Amino acid sequence: MTVEYVDAGEAVNHSALSSMPGIAPAVTNGIDYERLLNARSESQNWLTYYGAYDGQRYSLLDQINTGNVSKLSPAWIFQAGQSGQMAATSTYAFEACPLVVDGVMYVTGWDGSFWALDAVTGKELWRYKHAVPFDVSLCCSNVNRGCAVANGKVFFVTPNAQLLALDATNGDVVWQKTIGDVRAGESASIAPTVIKDTLITGSAGGEFGVRGHIDCWDLETGEQRWRTYTVPKPGEPGSETWPADGEAWQRGGGNHWVTGTYDPELNLYYAGTGNPAPDFDGGVREGDNLYTDSVVAMDVDTGEIKWHYQFTPHDLWDYDSTMEMTLFERDGKKLLGHFDKNGYFFVLDRTNGELQHVTPFVDRIDWGVITRDGKVTPRKYPDKEGEPVHFYPGPAGAKEWTHAAYSQKTELFYVPVADVGATATRRRREFKEGIPYWGAGVQVDIDDMAGSVSAFDTYGEEKWRWRIDYPMAASVLATAGDLVFAGTPTGEFVALDARTGEKLWEFQCGSGHHSSCSTYSVDGKQFVVVPVGWGGWLEGIVPGLLGQGHGSAVIAFALPD
Amino acid sequence: MTIAEEQITEERSEMLARLGLDGQNKASMGRVLATGSIAEATERADGTMEATIRIKEDEVCWEPAILVLPHGGDLELTVINDDKNTHACLLPSNGDQKFLWLVNHSRGRATVRLDGPGYYWYSSPGGNDEGRGLTAAIVVQGEVPPEARLDRPSQPRP
């Protein structure tokens, strides 16, 4: 006898089986280019990845200050968690900076996750979860650095190189664009930047021998405005820095995987570029390898590279220069400050790229020397096949992607410093699309390391240092309350006196920090928020803490009522 | 939809059976993942794809173990529980995962949207169904759109 099946109905959204309402106030409707230009003046909000186009990670909020920070305590905790299988299960982590608009927080996570939260209570308002292939190529873990907001929408990228525009009130997809080739080893992790009526993104995948590019998209439709490759073809400017008769340029790397900064007066977007590929085998790519390990100043309307400065010519140590290009002024001059993986702090004239000065910012540098006027002399690098070479800093750099802050009050930079070395042994290999293309075996030291939050003036002179036993691996925030906030790999979230480096407060968050904190206020109450959770490219950053417990929380702090 | 027997060598099938890797409470407590059959989804004229996935009695695994789609897009699934126990189905889909409760001897539907290329796991998220064998793969074939590819000559692949 045939028994009829019970009708199980239609599958429902997983989030429908939760307490979240699925809707958020329409707070982003009025966010246009004018508001983004003045983002810092809206100190109650955190409207862009760095808080403002200049990349300073500096807030005007001062309710929480050196006099009362000792009373700071958790206001709420949001636990993200995960259901089902995901790519790179062992490496997921928060690497995002939360944005906040008029009481609504937007946070991205690993594996295509996006959450809208009530910024006062931490209550989940809606979520979006993109389906990310289990087999997507991820050089450095399943992470995402954040989103952009404008015109009623939020924008973010997924590990499988999709760019999404979501309705900011409910997470519904407005448009979706494929921005990279996952078969080639491309992925995406950058927080997009809204400029005018466009959106700027970059690609990831430099460890797979892709050709880096920076893209501009129409904000409303997702149509491409321009694409600029960061490795030139034969005959294009910069192609003379690659082998003339080879294929190296086709696999040259130079990916823009961390958000750039923007000077609206100059109409220039400052994009940092990543390492050349293969990372450690320079013999197959003789020359300086432009525009890898560089800042490229791009006309935002056309994508044309107006000028460039290369921080590590012919890189042999994996010294990406993707990290923030902080814009500041000194004596009326428009300048750009950059703390590079190679251990040196560069200050450039941002109108033309002219070098002002170079200074070291970490104790141990032996890969080579860069003089104050910018002359580079390599000393230790993988050269002979099979011969191990130890060098400082290791491939995660003296400062990884995590960001420094610059206080307009103290005129100091606050830098998360990593002091750890590594050994690379050159192992040449053939290039195959979609397969890692490093050209070496690499092991980062696990028993000799240090870190600090270090304060420097704009000339690179160190003013104070707050030391820890491990490399710093999270971004720093500076506020007008004369405070510097930073999270440690061992879970402490600390507030330092911006003028002295004295630790004034700490809270153990239960897992290591590898993201970017931000600050905001609602109804006159200031909060500091930090995504917490140990993970990411730990084998490169601090393998000595590879076994630390994971976490997946967003924690907001405030003063007692 | 056509369901083929395992598209693996006979030697491998024999070894899986001999060692008790392809069933419940043989070599280990559960069935080792992806040791079952392979099937291809069918495609309608409008590009929407269709397939059936089911849980067979006392096998605690999805049939097929690997479902292959020709390209990314929308997939309409018929989901059947032929087991005499209750299970569920948690599927990847752009926007949110899709959940379906599957009491004994039940049949439901799910529509999912997936990018290609790449492969995804889905499962029954109750108890340890996932570890016992109720975790299966959806493989999406194809290439990314031409406009998303790198401007460079064709490169060697493994």
Q: What is the DSSP string of B1-26?
A: -EEESP-S-HHHHHHHHHTT-SSTTS
Q: With cut-offs at 50, 70 and 90, classify the pLDDT of residue A2.
A: confident
pLDDT at position B13 is 87
Q: What is the pLDDT of residue A324?
A: 98
- How far, in Å, CA of A127 to CA of A189, rounded? 18
Å between A472 CA and nearest CA of chain B: 34
Distance from the Cα of B109 to chain A's closest Cα (Å) equals: 5
Buried b (16+ CB within 10 A) or exposed e, B81-103: bbbeebbbbbbbbbbbbbbbbbe
In three-state secondary structure terms, A524 is: coil
pLDDT more than 70, % of chain A: 100
Q: What is the pLDDT of residue B10?
A: 67
pLDDT confidence of residue A82: 87
Q: Which among A403, A397, A428 is positioned nearest to A415, based on CA atoms?
A: A403
Average pLDDT value for residue range A79-101: 94
pLDDT of B85 over the 90 cut: yes
Which candidate, A359, A391, A119, A400, places its Cα nearest to that of A274? Answer: A400
Q: Residues B25-59: pLDDT tens digits? A: 999 999 999 899 999 999 999 999 999 999 999 99
Query: What is the share, in percent, of chain A residues with pLDDT greater than 90?
Result: 97
pLDDT, residue A439, reads 97
B 46-85 → A contacts, CB under 8 A: 79-81
Q: Are A449 and A399 in contact (CB under 8 A)?
A: no
- CB-based contact B158 A435, cutoff 8 Å: yes
Q: What pLDDT is recorded for position A139?
A: 86
Q: Which of B80, B97, B118 is the closest to A14 by Cβ? A: B97
Distance from the B152 Cα atom to the nearest Cα atom in chain A, whole angstroms:
6
pLDDT of res. A27: 98
Mean pLDDT, rounded, for B63-86: 98
Q: In this model, does residue A140 exceed pLDDT 90?
A: no
Check residue A19 and give its pLDDT. Answer: 96
Cβ distance of A133 and B97 shorter than 8 Å: no
Residue whose structure tokens are 């710093």: A472
* Cα distances (angstroms) measured from residue A149 to each of A100, A166, A198, A220, A322: 9, 10, 12, 12, 22
Residues of chain B in contact with residue A201, where contact means CB-CB under 8 angstroms, are none
CB interface of B with A, residues 99-118, below 8 Å = 99-115, 117-118
pLDDT tens, A480-506?
Answer: 999 999 999 999 999 999 999 999 999
C-alpha R_g of chain B: 17
HSE of A38, CA atoms in CB hemisphere, 13 A: 6
Condensed to tens digits (0 to 9), the pLDDT of residues A287-341 reads 999 999 999 999 999 999 999 999 999 999 999 999 999 999 999 999 999 999 9
- Provide mean pLDDT across the span B94-98: 98
Would you tell me which residues 114-153 of chain B have a C-beta closer than 8 angstroms to some C-beta of chain A? Answer: 114-115, 117-123, 125, 130, 135, 137, 140, 143-145, 147-153
Is the model's pLDDT at B8 over the cut of 90? no
Mean pLDDT, chain B, whole residue set: 94
What is the distance between the alpha carbons of residues A130 and A108, in angstroms, rounded to a whole number? 11
Q: How many CB pairs below 8 A link A and B?
A: 166
Question: What Cα–Cα distance (Å) separates residue B42 from each residue in A145, B4, B67, B122?
Answer: 38, 13, 11, 19
- pLDDT over 70 percentage in chain B: 94
pLDDT tens digits, one per residue of A250-260: 999 999 999 99
Closest CA to A190 of A206, A168, A208: A206
Q: Which range is least confidently modeled, A1-15, A345-359, A482-496, B59-73?
A: A1-15
Q: Which position among A318, A320, A419, A482 bears the catalytic label?
A: A318
pLDDT at B156 over 60: yes
* Residues of A with Cβ-Cβ distance to B107 under 8 angstroms: 5-8
Mean pLDDT score across all residues of chain A: 97
Report, as an integer, the average pLDDT of A469-476. 98
Contact: B157, A434; criterion CB under 8 Å: yes
pLDDT digits (tens, 9 = 90+) for A260-290: 999 999 999 999 999 999 999 999 999 999 9
Identify the pLDDT of residue A306. Answer: 98
Q: Please tell me the predicted confidence (pLDDT) of residue A1.
A: 67
Interval A222-228 mean pLDDT: 98
Mutate to test the interface with B, among A18, A129, A431 (most CBs of B within 10 A): A129
Residue A447 annotated among the catalytic residues of the structure: no
pLDDT at residue A504 in the model: 98
What mean pLDDT is predicted for residues B3-15? 67
Name every residue whose Cβ is closer than 8 Å to that of residue A417 and which is 6 or more positions away in sequence: A361, A362, A398, A399, A451, A452, A453, A454, A471, A472
pLDDT, position B31? 96
Of residues A419 and A81, more confidence is placed in A419
Among A76-85, A461-470, A537-546, name the most confident range. A461-470
Indicate if the alpha-carbon torsion angle A508, A509, A511, A515 is positive or negative: negative
pLDDT of residue B9: 61
- B118/A134 Cβ within 8 A: yes
Strands in A58-59's sheet, in edge-to-edge order, are A58-59, A476-479, A483-487, A492-497, A503-508
**Which pLDDT value is given to residue A246?**
83
Which residues does chain B have within 8 Å of residue A162's beta carbon, measured at their own beta carbons?
Answer: 115
pLDDT of residue B114: 98
Give the confidence band of A184 by pLDDT, cuts at 50, 70, 90: very high
CA angle A336-A55-A260, nearest 5°?
Answer: 80
DSSP-derived secondary structure for A55-93: ---EE---SS-TTTGGG-EEEEEEE----S--TTTTT--
**Interface touch B98/A229, C-beta < 8 Å:** no
Is 70 exceeded by the pLDDT of residue A169? yes
Instruction: Give CA–CA dist A159/A91, Å, rounded.
Output: 13
Q: Is the pTM of this model over 0.95?
A: yes
Per DSSP (E only), the strands in chain B are 2-4, 38-40, 42-43, 49-55, 62-63, 66-69, 73-81, 87-91, 98-102, 106-114, 118-123, 135-140
The region, left, alpha or beta by phi > 0 then psi within -120 to 50, assigned to residue A88 is: left
Tell me: pLDDT of B1 over 90: no
